[in-house]
């Protein structure tokens, strides 16, 4: 069986949303150097989706693989009309691959999953059932992981830290297998390595989130693309997420309060210097290191407040230039609308 492979380059992004006959479900799978996993993954995923009884599409995003992964994906696309393949010119990372998959998919429901066969396609049915209960996001939880002890331990520590900082309590932020309603993803733009924080980002916009245990298989082919350095990248991304969530529309509060706190410390240091000036055995204030500390803290406080004012100008230009609202509307109900049950 064969089908025409449609290739899109410039102008593809944005055009997908207008395609008639959009499927109900889009499954997005980023892949990088997974040549031995493509065929078994596609067979299992295609079989699992056929059993659902829903219209669907599979969007494979090749993140600049240099092995036979693109060839295997081309074979899958030729054999399955529901497949769309998006190929990068080079490796841009998993977050970029997920963003591209979202932009080139059209389903009302979206499922993200890894392409290394550690996620189980048979879990998609249960994830969608949870969405049908009224949730906006269903996050997979790898309750029984098949990873090295050190990696699992670091992951648990990172999940606990992310949950505490973001206020969105999940056991497994690192599990890619998640299901979303399209409308909660549309306002989100992903940069860097922010894909693991999608539940927190959409939760701050008012989405309801639940999680459920999913199957986690040991890797059979290939190798993990993540090392211990990812831990430090997660910490830096967490700072960015916290900044975006809490202060993206009011950065002056962050820098201003920090500036006032610094000024308060400078004032305390000045008071101590004056007291020591009046009382022996410190008759000379200019020899007191606290005086230099007070001057330094005063300058830092002023710089923080000025940075806050500059950040306010940048944020306002960002929102106004793109006509980007600072709120998210769930629905609008007109007077005289029929009663809903």
Per the prediction, the chain carries an average pLDDT of: 83
Furthest CA-CA distance within the chain? 96
Query: Which of 95, 128, 110, 121 has its CA nearest to residue 216?
Result: 121
Mean pLDDT of 122-151: 88
d(CA 202, CA 236): 19
HSE, side-chain direction, 13 A CA sphere, residue 177 = 26
Residue 47, pLDDT > 50, answer: yes
Tell me the pTM.
0.74
Alpha helices for 167-228 (secondary structure H): 182-185, 198-204
Contacts of 209 (CB under 8 A, 6+ apart): 135, 136, 137, 138, 139, 168, 170, 199, 202, 203
pLDDT tens figures, 167-185? 888 888 888 899 999 999 9
On the 0-12 / 13-18 / 19+ scale of CB atoms within 10 A, 92 is middle
Residue 276 near residue 285, CB atoms below 8 Å: yes
pLDDT for residue 3? 44
pLDDT tens figures, 229-270? 666 777 777 887 777 777 777 888 889 999 999 999 999 998
Query: What percent of the chain stands above pLDDT 90?
Result: 41
In angstroms, the Cα distances linking 153 to 17, 57, 62, 148 are 41, 36, 30, 9
d(CA 176, CA 222): 18
């Amino acid at each position: 069986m064969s089908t025409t492979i449609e290739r899109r380059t410039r102008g593809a992004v944005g055009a997908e949303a207008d395609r008639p006959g959009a499927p109900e479900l889009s499954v997005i799978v980023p892949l990088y150097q997974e040549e031995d996993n493509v065929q078994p993954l596609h067979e299992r995923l295609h079989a699992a989706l056929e059993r659902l009884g829903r219209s669907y599409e599979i969007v494979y995003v090749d993140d600049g693989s240099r092995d036979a992964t693109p060839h295997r994906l081309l074979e899958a696309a030729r054999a399955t009309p529901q497949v769309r393949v998006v190929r990068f010119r080079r490796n841009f990372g998993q977050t970029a691959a997920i963003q591209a998959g979202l932009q080139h998919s059209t389903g009302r429901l979206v499922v993200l999953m890894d392409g290394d066969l550690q996620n189980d396609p048979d879990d998609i049915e249960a994830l969608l059932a949870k969405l049908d209960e009224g949730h906006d996001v269903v996050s997979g939880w790898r309750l029984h992981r098949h990873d090295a002890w050190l990696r699992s331990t670091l992951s648990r520590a990172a999940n606990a830290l992310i949950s505490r900082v973001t206020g969105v309590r999940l056991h497994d932020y690192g599990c890619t297998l998640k299901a979303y309603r399209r409308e909660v993803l549309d306002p989100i733009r992903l940069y860097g390595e922010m894909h693991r924080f999608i539940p927190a980002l959409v939760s701050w916009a008012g989405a309801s989130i639940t999680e459920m245990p999913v199957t986690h298989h040991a890797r059979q082919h290939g190798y993990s693309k993540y090392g211990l350095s990812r831990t430090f990248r997660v910490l830096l991304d967490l700072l960015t997420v916290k900044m975006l969530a809490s202060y993206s529309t009011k950065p002056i509060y962050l820098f201003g309060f920090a500036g006032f706190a610094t000024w308060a410390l400078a004032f305390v240091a000045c008071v101590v210097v004056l007291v020591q000036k009046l009382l022996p055995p410190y008759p000379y204030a200019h020899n007191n290191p606290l005086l230099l500390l007070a001057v330094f803290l005063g300058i830092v406080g002023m710089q923080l407040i000025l940075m806050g004012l500059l950040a306010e100008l940048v944020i306002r230009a960002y929102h106004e230039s793109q006509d980007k609202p600072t709120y998210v509307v769930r629905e609008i109900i007109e007077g005289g609308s029929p009663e809903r049950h």
